[in-house]
Structure 1
């Protein structure tokens, strides 16, 4: 459970680092890059322990798959709540395909 919680926290930081600046297009690129690097530091402070704790309970491929699904869920919430974008049917269909990928990844 710690692995997933740390991955969620990490992805919140990552999403703001990578996409939060889109609301600040009036700022110079060098400034948003520096701010993004600062935010990404906290992403790594959570991501590295998440992978260290989770490895052994999950394979590396499973950890990466979990991380990708968490990333997409966090990004979906972010894009609606922060950027004001709408989720459309094709976004949900693509997410359903990824859930299928998760199913296959965890088969033994």
Structure 2
């Protein structure tokens, strides 16, 4: 009778240890697959290097071009964007500022202006 109980305890102990080992192996494999996927994703990331120096964007100028508001880069000569905002639809003081070249310092200010005065 004692032998029967000891075989049963041994079988239960072996079963529990086997289940723990299988669980550990599965969780280990899951972590390794996850790490490998992360590594592959990092390897697929491309980097572009350039020569030269970076400069801070120095702002934009809003000017009139053929009756519409045009956005120029900080040099005042290079056209950045031509809008569909008619100068005649702007308030008088804004029209005058655009005719003389309204300076806008940041991109946020630029798009705020364009959003406010677009139809």
Same fold (TM over 0.5): no
Q: TM-score, normalised by structure 1?
A: 0.23
Higher relative contact order (CA 8 A, sep 6+): 1
The structure with more helix, counted as a fraction of residues: 1
More strand by share: 2
Larger radius of gyration: 2
